Each structure stands twice: as C-alpha cells, then as structure tokens.
A and B are shown apart, each in its own frame.
Chain A
Amino acid sequence: MNTNVRNYFIKIIALILVGSYLMDKIAFVLLNSISDEVYSGQSIGKLNQFLEIKDELDFIVVGSSRANHHVDVSKIHDNSFNIGLDGTKMAYASTLIKTLSNKEQVILMHISPETAFSESYNGDDVQSLKSKYNRNKAIKNEIDFLKKNNPLQNFYWSLGYTGSILGMIKNIYFPNYDYTKYKGYDPLVVNSNQKEILEKILKRNTTKPCKNKLTLNPIYAHYLTELEIFSKQNNKRIVLFTAPIYNDVCKSDNQKLQKFLQKSTFEYIDYTDFFKHNNTIDLWKDRTHLSDKGAQLLTFQLKKKINIKSN
C-alpha cells in the first residue's frame, strides 16, 4: 500500500466513521422525538406510559407475559398499571421497580420457579429497556451492572432502538388502543386456529424431565435481596406470585422457592396449580398462558388475596 493509497484508506474510513456517527445522532434525535409520542405497543409505548405515571400509581403489576396477560389490574384497583412484558424476567421487572419513588405502593410481581433455578438465566431481559439507555440513568446503571450494554452503544446511540422502529411508526399512526383508557393488561384472545394447535400440543402429552439440582440463580438471588431492601426503604409492599401452568409435573422447584421466600419479608402466592381441579382447554392459550377467561378467574382470586382498598 503506497502512501497515496494509505491516505485514501484513512480518509474513507474517517468519512465512514464520521458519516455513520452523524447519521446515527440524527436518527437518535429523530427516534427520540418519535418515541416520546408513542403510547401504544409493548416495547416502547407501554414503557413510556408507565414511566410517565409510575409515581402516581397505587398498584403495579410487573413481570413477564405471565403477568401481562394474566392480571387484569383494573379489576383489582382503579389507580393501577400492569407493566408486564413478553419475554422479560427478573432483571427487567426489578429495574423498573427500582425507578419508583418512595410513594406507598403495592407491587404484584410474577416470578417463575423455573427461571429462579435456571443455570442459564443471565439477565438478558434487561435489554428490553435499551431504548432508555442513554436517557434514564437508573436504567443505564442496571444495564451496565449486568454488562448487557452493547459495547458500541456509546458510539452508536441508536442501537437502543434496534428492531423497534417499524413498531414505533405503526403505533404513532395506528395505535393499538386508546392509551388514556389502557391499564397495561393485554388479554389473550384465542382463535380457532390457535385452539386447534393447542389441542394438538396437549394430545402429545410430552413432559420435560424434572431438575434434581436446584440452586438459586445468582442474578435472581441478587435482585430478590435488592428488592427486599428497596421495599423497606421506599414504602413498598411487594407480593410475589407464580401464575398457573396447564399441567406442572415438577414440584420440587416450587417447594424450594417457597421455602427460600419464607425466610424473606416477601409475601408469596404460588398459583401454579390454580386450575388443577377445574381445568378446561378454553382457559388456556398454551401450556403457560391463560386465555382472557382464565385470566379473569385468576384476577378475581388475586384481588381477594391481595386485598387492596380502592380509593
């Protein structure tokens, strides 16, 4: 490579770096302004709505899809919100709880014994908050703590919006719902095609072998400890619950988690076998997710159990 070509190479690389950096910043500013207008849709809109109203709420539901689709919060308390999100677990839920002020609040948090004793759970779900990485310090700290930040995100800020752009644009022009009436609960409506698929799956009757070695996942343990301290310092009543499963064969993980939580100040309700004695297929969308009909029955029971007075 002669000097001329070397200079040319340096020039082109510099142009690409500067060009992509500037384009990224323009895109970031644009996406921020779009994102701030979005109040519908799971990944951005729902989060925006929650972050805006979180400190005014009395009752909050957090957790995975089994929180989101199973707890109709409006039936439990008027001033409530369900921030459950598909695919998220302990890290995501705990990070959101840690953004709350010290207002007195009741938090219902879904926990799964399977994830609690999973060896592979590594807190990846916190990345669902990456769109706020460069905009919310508490979220940035948690993502950094779990080392889940994309190393390039300090240079290319738009990485926080990867994969969400189409959804955001769609939700601006065609929102899924009227957010002023939305409380975060997304009922699962099961169509005939899905019902047929579920019937086929259930007929197979395949079960996974139960785990013998049950060690609490370190990230799970870390967040449980943190939440216990946080709840004491910030006037929170945290109720942990496990949502029903169609036919849960392994019980040892439930028992071990129950035992572990007995030592803590958390209230814990295990509803894994909630429908064991009155089970019908129309209560389910799949083995771990309830239909709206199933969710309403569960919500009714949760309301009685948690017993919060409505204003």
Chain B
Amino acid sequence: MLFNSFEFLIFFPIVFILYWMLQNNFRLQNILLLLASYIFYAWWDYRFLSLIIISSCIDYIAGLQIFKASNQSRRKFWLYVSLIANLGFLGVFKYYNFFAESFSQLMNQAGWQPNDLTLNIILPVGISFYTFQTLSYTIDIYRKDFQPTTNILSFFTYIAFFPQLVAGPIERASNLLPQMERKRNLSKEWIKEGLVQIVIGLFRKIVIADTIAAYVDLIYADVGIYNSSSILLATFLYAFQIYFDFAGYSDIAIGSAKLLGFKFHQNFNLPYFSKSLTEFWRKWHMSLSFWLRDYLYISLGGNRKGIKITYRNLLLTMLLGGLWHGSSWNFIIWGGIHGFVLAIEKYIKSKSFSIKLKPINFLGYPITFAVVLLAWVFFRAQNLTIATIAIKKILLFEWTLPYMGDINALANSVLLLTLGIIFDYYLFKKKITLELLGNQFNIVKTSFICSFTILLIILFYSTSNNFIYFQF
C-alpha cells in the first residue's frame, strides 16, 4: 500500500480510530498495529510477509540468547546467526543476481562461458530497511548498549510497524521498542505537528517530485540523443525529485507515527543547505547515514586507527552504503564518489588548510551541491553504460538551449520546485524543523495551513508514481 494511494486514505483513519479506541490497553493496540502492518505490507505481496516473520523470529531469539549467553563465544555465535540470516536474506533476494552476472562477465572476459547463473527473483519491498533495523537490534544487544525485550508482540510490532516498514526511517530498537512497551499518549502539539508534516510530505511527493519526474524520465530514457544542457537540467531536477520524493515519504511516515503516539527521529534536515559533504550526510537520509556510521564505520575502526585507515573506512562505508541502495555498479560508484570526497574533506580538515579556506567557506554550498549532482547521474542512470554516456555528454559542454519537451509541464515543474525551495529556505532561515513546524501555530492557523496545502495538492498533483526508495 502506498502512502499516496486512495487505499491508504481509507486505511489510516480506520486504523487510527480503532487504535485510540483501544487506548486503555497498549497490548491490544500492538496487536492491532501488527495486523494493520501486515495488511499494509500484504497489499503489495502477501508471500513476502513470511520473510518479515522469519526475520523477526530469528532476531527475537538471537537477541535473547546474546543477552543470556554466559560466555563471549556463545554471544558471538548468536550474533553471527543474526548477521548470517539477515544478510543472507538480503544477499539472496537483493544481491544474488548482481554477483552472478558480474561473475559471468568476468568469466567471459577470461574466455570462459558459464551457464546463466541468474535467478528469477523478485526483490521484496522494504527488505533493506527492516533488515538494517533488525540488525541494529542484535548488534546493540551484543555491544551491551540495549537490553532485549521479552515481549514477542512488541518486538514483532516494532519490526513491522507500517509507517516505517517499507522505506524507513530506519528506527532503532533503542528509540522505538521502549515506546512499543508503554502506554501511548497523543498531545495537542503532536496532532498539529503530525497533520502538518503529513500534508506537507504529500505535497512534496505528489506535487513537486512527481511533476518534476516527467522531464527527468524523458531525458534519462534516452540520454544519447540529448545535448549537455538537457542532461544537466534533468540531473538538476532529479536532485530535487529524489529529495522531495524521499523526504516527502519520511514526512508522511513520521507524521503518521506521531498521530499514533510514536516519535520517530528526523530523517532529512534540508540537506542541500550544506557547506560540505560531511554536513550533507548529517542531513540526508539521517537514519541510514547514522546507521552506517555506528554499525559499519565505527566497527571498521572509525578514525581511531590512524589517518590512512580512516580514509579506507570512509571509502568502504560509502561503497557499502552505495551497494545498500541497489545491486548495481552505478550505486557502488555513487557511494565511491561520496566516500572519496568525504576522505578529501577529512584530509583538508586534518591539515591547516581549513583555517586558510575559512574566508571562502560560502563556496562550500555550490561545491557540495555540484559533487552531489555529479554523483546523482550514477544514481539515476539505469546502468553504468547510460551513466557514462550521460557524463560524457555533459562534458561535451553543448550549451545550446535544453530540450523543453512539454513546455507547460516544464513550467509547472519550475514553479512548484521554486515553491518547494522557498519553503525549505524559510525553514532554514527560521531554524525550524518540519517536525516541529505545526506546533508554531494555533488550531485555526494549523487548519488553514493544512486546508491550503490540500487545495494546492488538488490543483497541482501529478499522476502518482511509486516512491523512488521502494526499489531499495
């Protein structure tokens, strides 16, 4: 089920009403949430529910066993059980075909012709998200940062909780599980914050991102035939399409959870207003970047083992972060670009350059955006060949007018994008997060903002596309 579907518009109010009718018993509320979450997921494909259930079972048991284990080897054993099971699912469903194809290509180059090793596998929606979520649970217990729950219902509900099940935010057990195990309350402030965030999230997704998508899809469907300026314009628009798409999704998720009495962490904090890539990653898909930092970068040694190892760790973390997004060389290169530039920033920071560069600090904004833009080419292109063509075409510097396509659609895109950027700039200048925006206003103003945003959605929404991050 999609947040931007008519089904969700019916589904959520029903769940909301039933949920708060059961407010005197949070266990019954959890049962309702679990059932609702499974229905939400099964709407896409009920067969893959079994994967979530198996994954939940394994991690529930592994968590308890790690905690109970009397010695280190036993603890390690159960951690490995969790890692192998979760990464095994991910490996089979997400990466098997990629590695099989890469292996075949390598063999072909060596003169061998192996049989077709690929399998006809469907990628289960949300597997990357809930796998990381369950992994954080067992790793935190192994690190003694968190105690496992003995309540299987709370744990299963935590894993399957529908607002964050298919595309995050990747909420860690330490934040969400304790909330599952106590009575929830809904305050007036949360009502305003949740409603404002949901409608603005919807606007970001179905108005801005989906309108922009038309031009981006047109150009990237055949980059070979368009000039440099068209590809550059499409990439520029894509940078905002993916931002408003994913940030919009996160907004709806965070807002919906808030209306059910749960507080999620912020997932996007105006990432394009960043003076460095390091800052960008503190603001972009924060639940993933902090996950990668805490469970990968730090596990690899972080910056504690000397500067060279730090660079290696950064690069490796970002390469794997890229691979997390999809089983393709494009994503690995995308991660590689980010890792490489992060390492350069680390180098500059470690030397005295950073003091000398202070007067021109403001250049950090356009430079960071340019790097992010270049990397988006690899992220958006369907494969490495297309990405290479796009980069080559951009570097031809054919600065004639870009291809306009449907001029009305392009004008709509520019107008709506401007609106989106102005709104973000307002938040940036006022130093407010969207999560708390609703609380700035009284009931009448909040209702007016929501009503007006709904009107804008009615007047400008575009045909619904799937959320980009569903494919990951």
Chain A interface residues (CB < 8 Å from chain B): 1, 5-6, 8-9, 11-12, 15-16, 19-20, 23-24, 27, 151-152, 156, 158-159, 161-163, 165-167, 170, 193, 197, 200-201
Contacts and interface: CB of A to CB of B under 8 A. Distances in A.
B451 interface: yes
Nearest to A153: B458
A20 B455 contact: yes
Interface of B: 6, 20, 23, 185-188, 191-192, 195, 224-227, 400-401, 403, 408, 411-412, 415, 443-444, 446-448, 450-452, 454-455, 458-462
A167 B195 CA distance: 31
B20 A162 contact: no
A156 B188 CA distance: 27
A158 B455 CA distance: 8
A167 B407 CA distance: 10
13 contacts: A1-B23, A1-B186, A5-B186, A9-B191, A19-B451, A20-B454, A20-B455, A23-B455, A151-B6, A158-B459, A161-B459, A162-B460, A163-B462
B185 A1 contact: yes
Given A5-B188, A151-B6, A163 B460 contact: yes
A197 B133 CA distance: 47
Given A166-B408, A197-B225, A16 B188 contact: no
B411 A12 contact: no
Contacts of B458: 24, 27, 156, 158-159, 162
Contacts of B403: 193, 197
A1 B412 CA distance: 42
A107 B186 CA distance: 63
Given A1-B186, A9-B186, A166-B411, 13 more contacts: A8-B191, A12-B191, A12-B446, A12-B447, A15-B443, A15-B444, A19-B447, A19-B448, A158-B459, A162-B461, A163-B460, A163-B461, A166-B408
Q: Lowest 6 CB-CB distances: which A-B pairs, in order? A: A19-B451, A15-B447, A20-B451, A20-B454, A1-B186, A23-B455
Given A23-B455, A163-B412, A200-B224, A5 B447 contact: no
Contact of A12 (B192, B459, B462): B192
A287 to B, nearest CB: 13
A23 B454 CA distance: 9
Contact of B408 (A11, A24, A27, A167): A167
Nearest to B408: A167
Contacts of A6: 20
Nearest to B452: A23
Contacts of A163: 412, 460-462
A193 B191 contact: no
Contacts, number: 83
A165 B462 CA distance: 13
Q: Majority SS of interface residues in chain B?
A: helix
A201 B448 CA distance: 50
A8 B455 contact: no
Contacts of B454: 16, 20, 23
Give the most central of A19, A159, A201: most B CB within 10 Å. A19
A165 B459 contact: yes
A85 to B, nearest CB: 13
Nearest to B416: A166
Contacts of B185: 1
Give the most central of A1, A159, A201: most B CB within 10 Å. A1
A23 B400 contact: no
Given A1-B185, A12-B192, A20-B455, A197 B226 contact: yes
Contacts of B400: 193
Nearest to B226: A197
A200 B227 CA distance: 12
Contacts of A158: 455, 458-459
Given A165-B460, A193-B227, A201-B225, A27 B191 contact: no
Nearest to B211: A163
B411 A5 contact: no
A218 B450 CA distance: 42
A16 B20 contact: no
Contacts of A11: 443
Contacts of B443: 8, 11-12, 15
Contacts of A201: 225
B452 A5 contact: no
A165 B448 CA distance: 21
Contacts of B195: 12, 16
B254 to A, nearest CB: 18
Nearest to A200: B225
A270 to B, nearest CB: 29
Contacts of B408: 166-167, 170
A11 B446 CA distance: 12
A208 to B, nearest CB: 15
Given A12-B446, A151-B6, A165-B460, A24 B455 contact: yes
A105 to B, nearest CB: 31
A159 B408 CA distance: 18
Nearest to B261: A1
Nearest to A31: B459
Contacts of A159: 458
A200 B224 CA distance: 9
A212 to B, nearest CB: 23
A136 to B, nearest CB: 20
A188 B272 CA distance: 40
A25 B266 CA distance: 36
Contacts of A166: 408, 411-412, 415
A1 B460 contact: no
Given A5-B191, A151-B6, A200-B225, A20 B460 contact: no
Give the most central of B400, B444, B447, B452: most A CB within 10 Å. B447
A167 B409 CA distance: 9
B326 to A, nearest CB: 26
Contacts of A23: 451-452, 454-455
